[in-house]
Amino acid sequence: MPRRLALVWALLIFGLSGPPVRSQSLVPRDIIPTRTSLSRLGLERQWMTSIPLSATERVLEISRSEDLFFVQTDDAMLHVYEAETGRHRWSAKIGDRAAAARPVSANSFAVFATNANILSALDRGTGRFIWRVNLGTLPSSGTSCDEERLLVGLSTGMINCYDLKEAQDKGPEKIRDKPSLLWNMKTNGRVSTRPLIADRIVCMGSDDGRAFVNLSHEPTPLFRIPTGGPIGDEFGHHGTRMLLVPSADDNLYAVDVFTAEMFWTFPSGAPIRQAPTVAGDQVFVINEAGDLSLLDPKTGEPRWTTATHSGRFLGVSPAKVYLRNREGDLMMVDRESGKVLADPNATLGRAGLNLRRYDLSLSDHFDDRLYLGTSSGVVICLREIGLTTPQLLRDPKAKPFGYVPPEGIRQLPPVPDQDEEEPDFSTPPPPR
């Protein structure tokens, strides 16, 4: 008996002295879409998960990279899942409680996230910290990275570019224990646009109404694209050279990222905040009024335009485009003709699919999966029935955006007008 009592007391002491356990959120039955309601719309559930939350904790942001799915909470928890299967990879606390979160990015060795004024790099496989950097102010855009560089926009109008690797005397480059600030740039507005990295160049946007194209490895501006309003949340791109710039001046601009030549401009009739979505040889753009247009990337001419009444773009499959209205109801549009296949009355009223408690969603630019979440901790991924393999929006064998052919670029960018004010590029001081 004494030995049993000793074992019980040991377990109790160990339990009381251990780290606090985060409770697994209970999922109300009425929040999970039924198989019947989904099947009436040709959909099925790919996966679902419940995010472990404390009593007062809430989910702030969901985002994804090519193969990872990220969930961030107001208690500074970052949960990482496989985008296709929903399998949990790891979780990490990246700071203190915060009121806002920004999209996360990842490369082959790390995941990059911000919390308040702290920028963190975590090991992609384990979630352990590689380094943490104090930005000195709040970020205002999501992070963007490749294997060499990391960019983030700041609320002060600055854009920071960090070098992630360092050369060695022998062998390949080494991942830095702490990033090196390679350069930064001052704009005249808050940087809400997520930077876009394309091999040797980076594309950046600001609320001052300008988009910038700059060399990635040094503070050298190539050109800028003036518009009449703040640049949207993210850029789009088509092929290897076409940069798509959404603007609050109601226009979508298609620009040659190497020569600054304007391919075309599409007047949408209302401000454009969401990034255009490129699927194969089609460009989908939706403005703040909810007018969804399918554009010909060669000319910028609309093949069709459909009014969705303030709809938000959700995703695109081989045959359909998916959106949500202000109340969170699902809408379905035929991809080829633009005809509305199911409006909110059909999806909610007749099919019985109620997604109104899913107050979080993302516009997917990678494949046909549809992701939605609730601030209370439920995340679902939907797909069309039978599409067990993700339908990629871009041919994986195609040359990447920003690819420079062996013969080089024929035309050089125009020299900026000397009468215009140049953006302020600053280089960091030499290391001590």
In the chain, the domains with their CATH numbers are 31-414 (2.130.10.10)
228, 143, 393, 346 alpha-carbon torsion, rounded to 10°: -70
- Which regions in the chain score pLDDT beneath 50? 1, 5-21, 23-25, 412-420, 422-423, 425-432
Written as one letter, the residue type at 429 is P
Q: Are 56 and 392 in contact (CB under 8 A)?
A: no
pLDDT for residue 199? 83
The CA distance from 130 to 177, in Å, is 6
The CA-based diameter of the chain, rounded to the nearest angstrom, is 91
pLDDT for residue 172? 87
pLDDT for residue 26? 61
Other CB atoms within a 10 A radius of the CB of residue 341 amount to 17
Question: Which tens digits make up the pLDDT trace of 1-17?
Answer: 455 544 444 443 433 33
Q: Are 79 and 117 in contact (CB under 8 A)?
A: no
CA distances from 157 to 17, 140, 154, 193 (A): 46, 9, 6, 11
pLDDT for residue 63? 98
pLDDT for residue 411? 59
Q: What Rg, from alpha-carbon coordinates, does the chain have? A: 23
Q: Are 132 and 119 in contact (CB under 8 A)?
A: yes
pLDDT for residue 201? 94
Which residue, chain included where needed, has tokens 């915060």?
98
**CA 135 to chain CA centroid, nearest Å:** 20
**Alpha helices (runs of H) in 226-311, residue ranges in sequence order:** none
CA distances from 205 to 196, 226, 247 (A): 9, 10, 10
Angle at 104 between CA 310 and CA 238, to 5 degrees: 60
pTM of the model: 0.89
pLDDT for residue 170? 86
134, 136, 140, 146 alpha-carbon torsion, rounded to 10°: -40
Written as one letter, the residue type at 345 is N
Which residue, chain included where needed, has tokens 């990879």?
89
Handedness of CA 179, 362, 364, 30 (dihedral sign): positive
